[in-house]
């Protein structure tokens, strides 16, 4: 078995909402949530019900055949952009690959692809070319598509008539939790519109309500031509989607495909998650709970905290010490979190996290930071 992921030495066997338990029955508050994919928490009853009902019908329906649930999900996702078209797949990196193929086919006379420094868009060969971190790229550099990585403030001077597309995360999660400045987002949108380059927003981690709105781009001044979604879209089940303005065109005939994309079981859960976003006002609650949690963290007054950056329930705490030992200590004390670069602790709470969870995590975090002050 590959050891590519390393290991935390923690076996999770059960969970509900924002809490999980290990094989010994020890409880943990889960603020990692499958790297953000368990957006609705664990074992959400509405999503479980949707999955159980869907399992009584065919689990797989070939993409060329009609499936009502899949078509309903496509209609929901298409509504996110004008006259939207949708390609369904199985993960975030697949959604980015689909977007990359789409934009190069829609702008065939243009040779330049641009992405941002600190960007993370995945680790398959196309998406890896868009990812900035050299540690992810170094073993494959000579095979990667050439991509120009720039700072947000440099976009206007780089995106031109030779540019097919610019890929942007409204909030850079893996890169350290950096929300784009709205003025910068507006400048990026303007540069793309003036040059005819296509603007692709990667909402894999920031979208579907996590940052306080259906798409975080709406808070950042971005007007995307293409949106990619994944992670929380089906509550943690494998799904990805590329969505684009229908007036742009489509893939060439037989230009892309996915055997499992739009799987009826997963589409049913994703459709139920869409209903929950509205019935439970989860995006609004994400904004409120994220702000309240950040206030708690600021109240720790730790000299080790350099900066806290966040949008909704995507929170990064930059420290003056290494993040890995802090993340390990958090786990030992009943909180699961993750890092976002060498000195940023990242918290990805689910929608279902309650005030008691935020308060407990803040208290634990504060106590741990004290032990690292000397």
Do residue 218 and residue 73 come from a single domain? yes
**Closest by alpha carbon to 60, among 274, 234, 267, 232?**
267
| Assigned token pair, 189 | 């949108």
pLDDT score at 1: 65
- Is 147 within a domain? yes
Do residue 17 and residue 87 come from a single domain? no
Per residue in 41-67, pLDDT (tens digit) is: 999 999 999 999 999 999 999 999 999
Do residue 244 and residue 363 come from a single domain? no
DSSP run (H or E) holding 18:
none
Do residue 292 and residue 270 come from a single domain? no
Per residue in 114-162, pLDDT (tens digit) is: 999 999 999 999 999 999 999 999 999 999 999 999 999 999 999 999 9
Question: Cα(59)–Cα(178) distance, rounded to whole angstroms?
Answer: 39
Q: Which of 249, 279, 309 is the last residue of a domain?
A: 279
- Is 1 within a domain? no
Do residue 359 and residue 251 come from a single domain? no
Q: Which of 279, 302, 323 is the last residue of a domain?
A: 279
Do residue 294 and residue 339 come from a single domain? yes
Q: What is the CATH number of the domain that holds 142?
A: 3.40.640.10
Q: Are 166 and 150 in contact (CB under 8 A)?
A: no
- Is 2 within a domain? no
Per residue in 181-226, pLDDT (tens digit) is: 999 999 999 999 999 999 999 999 999 999 999 999 999 999 999 9
The domain in which residue 229 lies consists of 47-279
Domain count, the chain: 2
Maximal CA-CA distance, the chain: 64
């Amino acid at each position: 078995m590959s050891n590519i992921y390393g290991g935390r030495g923690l076996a999770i066997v059960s969970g509900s909402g924002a809490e999980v338990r290990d094989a010994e029955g020890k409880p943990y508050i889960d603020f990692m949530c499958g790297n953000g994919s368990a957006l609705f928490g664990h074992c959400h009853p509405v999503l479980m019900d949707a999955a159980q009902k869907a399992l009584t019908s065919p689990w797989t329906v070939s993409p060329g055949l009609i499936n009502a649930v899949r078509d309903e999900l496509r209609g929901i996702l298409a509504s996110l952009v004008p006259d939207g078209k949708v390609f369904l797949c199985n993960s975030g990196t697949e959604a980015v690959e689909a977007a990359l193929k789409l934009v190069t086919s829609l702008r065939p006379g243009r040779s330049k692809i641009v992405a941002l420094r600190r960007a993370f868009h995945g680790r398959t060969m196309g998406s890896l070319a868009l990812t900035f971190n050299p540690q992810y790229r170094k073993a494959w550099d000579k095979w990667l598509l050439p991509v120009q990585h720039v700072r947000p403030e440099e976009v206007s001077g780089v995106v031109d008539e030779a540019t097919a597309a610019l890929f942007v995360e409204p909030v850079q999660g893996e890169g350290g939790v950096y929300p784009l400045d709205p003025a910068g987002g507006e400048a990026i949108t303007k540069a793309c519109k003036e040059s005819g380059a296509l603007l692709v927003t990667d909402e894999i981690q920031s979208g579907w309500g996590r940052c306080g709105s259906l798409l975080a781009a709406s808070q950042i001044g971005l007007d995307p031509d293409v949106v990619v979604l994944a992670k929380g879209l089906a509550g943690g089940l494998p799904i990805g989607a590329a969505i684009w303005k229908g007036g742009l065109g489509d893939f060439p005939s037989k230009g892309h495909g996915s055997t499992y994309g739009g799987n009826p079981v997963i589409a049913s859960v994703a459709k139920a998650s869409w209903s929950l976003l509205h019935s439970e006002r989860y995006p609004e609650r994400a904004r409120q709970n994220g702000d309240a949690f950040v206030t708690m963290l600021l109240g720790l007054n730790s000299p080790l905290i350099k900066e806290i950056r966040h949008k909704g329930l995507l929170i990064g705490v930059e420290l003056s010490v290494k993040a890995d030992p802090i993340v390990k200590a958090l786990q030992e004390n009943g909180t699961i979190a993750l890092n976002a670069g060498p000195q940023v602790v990242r918290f990805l709470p689910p929608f279902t996290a309650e005030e008691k969870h935020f308060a407990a995590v803040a208290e634990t975090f504060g106590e741990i930071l004290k032990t690292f002050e000397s």
